[in-house]
Amino acid sequence: MAKKIKATLDRRAAVNQILARRADTLVVTGLGSSCYDVGAAGDHPNTFYLWGGMGAAAMMGLGLALAQPKRQVLVITGDGEMLMGLGALATIGTQGPRNLAIVVIDNEQYSETGMQPTHTSRGVDLAGMAKAAKFPRTGTIHTQSQLKAWIPKLYAPAGPAFVAIKVNHTRYPMAIRLRDGAHIKNRFREALLGSSAFD
Amino acid sequence: MKAQKKPPTWPNDIYEVLKQVGIRQVAYVPDAGHTQLINSCHADRSMKVISLTTEEEGVAMLAGTWLGGERGALLLQSSGVGNCINLLSIMHECRFPLLMLVTMRGEWGEFNPWQLAMGQGTPPVLQHAGVVVQRVDRADEIREHVFAAAQLTFNTCRPVALLISQRVIGFKDWSK
């Protein structure tokens, strides 16, 4: 195995930089730290926060991307959450939605349950898996300059794109109180669909 | 029961109702009972048809489908219901609609003992997960059952599973 590079990027700084460019992008989070990171970057009605349903984020992004082919869809999730639904990479790769990008904030640990190591800490390469599943754009980011270069690709309709961002082990408090699922869903649909959301 | 010579008409009844109620995304894990329907959907350019690696992917995907303003359906067999359970919590908490069309195994004339656990477990497991469970036992009633299930799920935003009896699908004759 290649020599391991120590992760130095900060998860919240990375998510902040990515979302600063979101414009009218539709965002889906995974549960746990990535949900809180996205909330901390600024609440938005077209963010869908998953507080449960581990393993669901990427596939939720696919359904949304297929329903809204003219809008960019960005999934921001964690390595543990992605590992729970790896089959989704094959399903998304074969569908090939150009408007879908998946960002994995990869701290190589299960942050919510006691910082147990995930398989990415043992050398499992999520971006390599996405590439093998026919994602045309994949990468693993270790540095600020790599992150800066990747951000425009997340918003370009040339996907599906997949990037793992290696981050350090800093833990942050929950920065979001909004957790009522029906409210999060209805608010998202109303912002996207207008009054037809309630037809 | 011997193999039917003519293909049954009920899969096409389902297809026509899916069109009628505006289904645009059809997700499935293959089942012999859904073969004709899956083929009809694949042949329809106005439908996006998504082959899944496991049924729970379809539960998550169809939440995104509704979030984006389209209607979808999940085709699965009873053994796949068990794969869905935790992600059904998303439907429960968020009040997402979900139309599940479940072809049943492990009941009427089943020959494979391995199908019994999930086949017999399907109705109570779905009910405990907060899904409204409906059932159709006759091929000539499938059209109205699918239409009613679609109305229920999309108008009330509650997940609905329509169980299609093994008696409708037919079973393999295992007798010597």
What amino acid occupies position A26? L
In 3D space, the residue among A41, A40, A34, A21 whose CA is nearest the CA of residue A61 turns out to be A34
Q: Please determine, for the modelled complex, whether the ipTM score is greater than 0.90.
A: yes
Test B69 with A192 for CB contact under 8 angstroms: yes
Test B60 with A55 for CB contact under 8 angstroms: yes
Chain A nearest-CA distance from B113, in A, is 28
**Which two tokens mark A140?**
């693993």
**Which two tokens mark B154?**
């999309």
**Which residues of chain A lie closer than 8 angstroms to B67, CB-CB?**
48, 60, 63-64, 67, 185, 188-189, 192
Radius of gyration (C-alpha) of chain B in whole angstroms:
15
| Residue in B closest to A196 by C-alpha | B69
**Which residues of chain B lie closer than 8 angstroms to A85, CB-CB?**
56-57, 60
Test B60 with A52 for CB contact under 8 angstroms: no
Chain B nearest-CA distance from A100, in A, is 12
pLDDT tens readout for residues B51-91: 999 999 999 999 999 999 999 999 999 999 999 999 999 99
pLDDT tens readout for residues A88-145: 999 999 999 999 999 999 999 999 999 999 999 999 999 999 999 999 999 999 999 9
Chain A nearest-CA distance from B138, in A, is 32
Radius of gyration (C-alpha) of chain A in whole angstroms:
16
| Residue in B closest to A88 by C-alpha | B57
Test A87 with B54 for CB contact under 8 angstroms: yes
Test A52 with B89 for CB contact under 8 angstroms: yes
Helix (H) or strand (E) holding B42: helix B35-42
Q: What does residue B8 show for φ and ψ, rounded to 5 degrees? A: -70, 155
Note whether A103 and A154 are within 8 A (CB).
Answer: yes
pLDDT tens readout for residues B111-167: 999 999 999 999 999 999 999 999 999 999 999 999 999 999 999 999 999 999 999
For residues B128-167, b (16+ Cβ closer than 10 Å) or e, as one string? ebebbbeebeebeebbebbbebbebbbeebbbbbbbbbbb
Place of tokens 């391991």: A4
For residue B4, pLDDT beyond 70: no
Test B65 with A53 for CB contact under 8 angstroms: no
